[in-house]
Structure 1
């Protein structure tokens, strides 16, 4: 029995055919059950985070399996731009990656290389052992793997914003994902994602990606900010997280029985 390469499970393929900005939700609980609940909620993409969340290879694998039957596109962020770690996630069957903390074109090129087999890159060959190739049940996987993989790199520092034109010009990069929280920290205004300098950096990065013919995404849990960035041209937006929704909903429920007002919390992490 053979299986086909499935490029329509990749974020770039969903973006290519989209007539609206794609909204996504983070899954940070390391729970396959939560991932499946979120996958059935109607979001376009699902952001499985392994940088700031307790997700490891086993947890990510379980979540990929749990959401496989849903139309939402799973996207995974590894903890670091490292070829060994990226290789492991790819071999699990991850098809869409957001690589964190990419500050210049050299780091962007390294991310691309990690996601491609030679001669285009340095990804190690282990298809007979890997879910990505369905254990060599997908014909010609080694020569066609690049068709199924989306490589997004994260713009989340003032340095990256300064280098964004070079980053989006990097061959093999499908687009960028902008992180206003870390961007604010790098600009000296930590916790102020809505600071004018941060917003200007986000919009500059969106415009640079669009000018280069690449996709632009941004994290914006605040709905007003999300809509502003969509109007500015963002193709995909992360608009919430499972753990944040659970935190706010449980706080509100507890407060409602104590006659208390719900405490305020930041609109993003």
Structure 2
């Protein structure tokens, strides 16, 4: 059987190949916002459940909206557990970003939570991802294991100290640099403080040597620096940033 490649189905292979991918966070619990943002050339969207009021029902409808447009959809979950990963994946998310992955034990837990075969992801063929019970069980499992993307957010001092162990966990596809939390963790003042810069450089060096992909939230002026560190998956803002910038530009243009 020939597999049809779509934006959603090909995302993980594009990420693992080292292709540069650019996306946005979604902070507003609205499927309409996802539809507007999904009608774009962005490579992915991330529903930020960790830091936004996105409940399970809103997550479900937002994922449905993104899926209808073949937009790769991620959820940055609230709880950094395998259980917390399950609902977004059952609802059809392309993958999950798990915050505060700081130990080998936690890394192994979330890696197993993203895979059926060889992992510990609980199976149900009845949610959206399984075609509401209409799909062949083995075909669905094969597809899910092939396409689900698991991203561990590295944002704790403990995670930096344990990065050599974390990075060796096979079924973690990518790490996401949590630089803001590293500022807090190190008692620093900005991402440019030496201790934060050195921590980020160390994490990226270990990831590059292991062939692990790196993601980061990036401002325009940071892109070349982050590229040099090995970042290939860039979150470049959110609809909040776009709305604020659009209002500012509108006022300036009208004045």
Instruction: Answer yes or no: same fold by TM over 0.5.
Output: yes
**Corresponding position of 2:79:** 80
Aligned-pair RMSD on alpha carbons? 2.4
Q: Is contact 2:26-2:46 (8 Å) kept? A: yes
**Corresponding position of 1:124:** 122
Flag the 1:142–1:43 CA change in 2: closer, same or farther, 3 A: closer
1:183 aligns with 2:185: no
Q: Secondary structure at the match of 1:102?
A: coil
2: CA distance, partners of 1:252 / 1:194: 28
1:250 aligns with 2:240: no
**Corresponding position of 2:234:** 237
Q: What 5-or-longer segments of structure 2 have no aligned partner?
A: none
**Structure 1, 196-205 or 171-180: larger mean CA deviation:** 196-205
Shift of 1:171: 2.6
**Structure 1, 61-70 or 41-50: larger mean CA deviation:** 61-70
Q: How does 1:4-15 map to 2 (within 5 A)?
A: 9=8, 11-15=11-15
2: CA distance, partners of 1:56 / 1:224: 33
Shift of 1:7: 8.1
2: CA distance, partners of 1:89 / 1:223: 30
1: CA distance, partners of 2:72 / 2:58: 17
Shift of 1:28: 0.7
Q: Is contact 1:44-1:71 (8 Å) kept? A: no
Shift of 1:247: 2.9
Number of residue-to-residue matches in the alignment = 250
Q: Is contact 2:18-2:213 (8 Å) kept? A: no
After superposition, give the CA deviation of every residue in 1:107-134 in whole Å (9 maximum; x if it has no partner): 11111122233x633322221x211111
**Corresponding position of 1:214:** 212
Q: What 5-or-longer segments of structure 1 have no aligned partner?
A: 260-269
**Corresponding position of 1:228:** 225
